[in-house]
């Protein structure tokens, strides 16, 4: 049984200044007058704050990861939820800010990319009964050792959706600085079109391929637990984009969107000894460090010497730990890192049955004289890289 509770998540730009926090409080007030559904609010850190904290960490100890790093990064949300609760009180509403450890948002101990295991809802439910609006810190959790954890950059979306699941809400509203999900990043492609409805599958692909409008885990959780997502503008009272199960009436254009991911670096290694064991061992070491490898391409370099060439991509922030693993384990292998690249992908469920998308894609690259790393980086899957 789903409940009527409405979870609303406000992103960094939406709470980026005292004026914006006040505007968010106004919106929550007007919603509470129009709509009797109880509201639970989740907020990100003020825009730019988490980047500032990452910068401080890098200047202090570049590449360090662990509880101290997560504690530092999570501090941005503490400021915004406290300010938002104060702004709501000023509007005459009752509000209470909560850090993850106060509520019981329990995660594993994979610092910087922790996964939520459980959310305790008793305090929230009690507040709602008493007419109090809980204002929850996004992005953070607490592990079994009582350490503060964080869910990965953009993770407040995941906090909100996980909370919606725990509260048995049927939908979750994600308020952001654009009016919805577009066919490409509207800040880069002014001609991009707003999409009214998207299915979970397409949104998972868009998020995994670099569209940072939603944190990928949030969409995966929403799909698994059937929570509809409504991505909409904080600043305009317009309908945004609904993300839900595929329905009969849903339009499925051949291409739904073009995504890009500039936060990517390519490692090229050669010559590596031949055989899958070498690859299993290398990727095992990367995975032990929590490094997410994206696109992988491997080919035989030289049959007579039995060596292979490997290329794979990782997020920019993982360049340093990846280099360390390679130099420690494969000191004789020639390793090149390319960090001036971007991954561009085409997404659309309608593409499954339509030829010609790859042809058009490469024609556009050719017309715009954009070099493609086609000979070394192969398509991740037939579907998402055409
Ligand atoms: P928030 O701080 O609200 O979580 P984010 O910066 O994480 O906001 O996500 C919103 C941003 O996502 C937009 O400002 C936009 O530049 C970017 N974006 C990238 N791809 C898309 C897309 N396809 N549709 C809408 N926004 C997109
Ligand atoms: N404040 C965090 C970040 O900047 C989480 C989020 O915004 O969702 O990544
Ligand atoms: Mg975000």
- Beta-sheet strand order (sheet of 148-150): 116-119, 105-107, 140-142, 148-150
User: Residues, the chain, total?
Assistant: 386
pLDDT score for 380: 37
* Residue 218 contacts residue 157 (beta carbons within 8 Å): yes
Residue ranges in the chain assigned as alpha helix (H)? 18-34, 49-61, 67-90, 100-103, 122-129, 156-166, 200-208, 216-225, 276-288, 319-329, 357-367
Q: Which residue has the tokens 């509470």?
A: 32
Query: Residue 43: CB partners within 8 Å, gap ≥ 6?
Result: 9, 10, 15, 77, 80, 81, 84, 135, 136, 137, 138, 156
The 10 Å Cβ neighbour count of residue 303 is 8
Confidence of residue 273 (pLDDT cuts 50, 70, 90): confident
Report the nearest-CA residue for atom 17 of ligand 1: 213
* Closest to 323 (Cα-Cα) out of 377, 376, 286, 360: 286
The HSE-up count of residue 64 (CA atoms within 13 Å, CB side) is 18
**Mutational test site, ligand 1, from 182, 185, 207, max ligand atoms within 8 Å of CB:** 185
Q: Is 152 in the pocket of ligand 1 (CB under 6 A)?
A: no
Report the nearest-CA residue for atom 4 of ligand 2: 50
Distance CA 109, CA 20 (A): 34
pLDDT in tens, 368-382: 898 887 544 433 333
- 185 CA distance to ligand 1 centroid (A)? 7
* Closest to 244 (Cα-Cα) out of 158, 172, 322: 172
The 10 Å Cβ neighbour count of residue 184 is 18
pLDDT score for 251: 67
More confident residue, 346 or 252: 346
Distance CA 269, CA 312 (A): 9
Q: Which residues are found with C-beta within 5 Å of the ion, ligand 3?
A: 11, 154
Q: Is 349 in the pocket of ligand 1 (CB under 6 A)?
A: no
pLDDT score for 27: 96
Q: Among the atoms of ligand 2, which is closest to the Cα of residue 159?
A: 8
Q: Is 139 in the pocket of ligand 1 (CB under 6 A)?
A: no
**pLDDT of 300 over the 90 cut:** no
Q: Is 234 in the pocket of ligand 1 (CB under 6 A)?
A: no
Q: Among the atoms of ligand 2, which is closest to the Cα of residue 139?
A: 5
| pTM for this predicted structure | 0.89
**Mutational test site, ligand 2, from 8, 51, 148, 154, max ligand atoms within 8 Å of CB:** 154
pLDDT in tens, 200-258: 999 999 998 888 899 999 999 999 999 999 999 999 999 999 999 987 666 667 888 99
Give strand pairing partners of 187. Answer: none
pLDDT score for 385: 32
- State the helix-helix crossing angle for 67-90 and 18-34, rounded to 10 degrees: 60
* Closest to 351 (Cα-Cα) out of 187, 239, 205: 205
* Closest to 159 (Cα-Cα) out of 136, 177, 181: 136
Q: Is 38 in the pocket of ligand 2 (CB under 6 A)?
A: no
Inter-CA distances, 181 with 24, 199, 229, 259, 376, Å: 20, 12, 11, 11, 32
Query: Residue 36: CB partners within 8 Å, gap ≥ 6?
Result: none
pLDDT score for 53: 98
pLDDT in tens, 113-148: 999 999 999 999 999 999 999 999 999 999 999 999
Q: Which residue has the tokens 């998540």?
A: 9
pLDDT in tens, 34-82: 988 999 999 999 999 999 999 999 999 988 889 999 999 999 999 999 9
What do you get for the CA distance between the two ends of the chain, in Å?
A: 40
């Amino acid at each position: 049984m789903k409940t009527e509770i409405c979870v609303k998540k406000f992103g960094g730009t939406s709470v980026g200044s005292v004026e914006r926090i006040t505007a968010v409080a106004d919106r929550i007030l007007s919603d509470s007058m129009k709509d009797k559904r109880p509201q639970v609010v989740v907020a990100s850190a003020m825009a730019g704050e988490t980047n500032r904290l990452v910068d401080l960490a890098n200047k202090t100890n570049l590449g360090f990861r662990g509880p101290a790093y997560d504690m530092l990064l999570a501090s941005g949300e503490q400021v915004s939820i406290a300010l938002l609760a104060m702004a709501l009180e000023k509007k005459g509403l009752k509000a209470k800010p909560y850090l993850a450890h106060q509520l019981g948002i329990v995660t594993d101990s994979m610092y910087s990319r922790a996964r939520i295991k459980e959310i305790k809802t008793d305090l929230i439910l009690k507040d709602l009964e008493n007419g109090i609006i809980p204002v929850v810190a996004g992005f953070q959790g607490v592990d079994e050792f009582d350490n503060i954890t964080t869910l990965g950059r953009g993770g407040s979306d995941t906090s909100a959706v996980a909370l919606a699941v725990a509260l048995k809400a049927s939908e979750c509203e994600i308020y952001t600085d654009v009016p919805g999900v577009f066919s490409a990043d509207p800040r880069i492609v002014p001609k991009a079109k707003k999409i009214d409805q998207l299915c979970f599958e397409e949104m998972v692909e868009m998020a995994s391929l670099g569209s940072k409008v939603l944190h990928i885990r949030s969409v995966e959780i929403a799909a698994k637990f059937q929570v509809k997502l409504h991505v909409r503008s904080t600043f305009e009272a317009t309908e945004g984009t609904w993300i839900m199960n595929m329905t009969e009436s849903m339009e499925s254009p051949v291409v739904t969107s073009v995504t890009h991911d500039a936060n990517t670096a390519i490692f090229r290694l050669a010559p590596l000894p031949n055989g899958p064991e070498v690859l299993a061992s290398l990727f095992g070491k990367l995975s032990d460090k929590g490094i997410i490898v994206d696109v992988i391409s491997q080919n035989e370099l030289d049959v007579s010497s039995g060596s292979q060439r490997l290329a794979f991509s990782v997020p920019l922030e993982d360049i340093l730990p990846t280099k360390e693993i390679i130099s420690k384990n494969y000191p004789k292998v020639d390793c090149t890192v390319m960090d001036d690249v971007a991954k561009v992908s085409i997404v659309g469920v309608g593409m499954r049955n339509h030829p010609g998308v790859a042809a058009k894609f490469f024609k556009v690259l050719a017309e715009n004289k954009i070099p493609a790393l086609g000979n070394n980086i192969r398509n991740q899957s037939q579907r998402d890289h055409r």
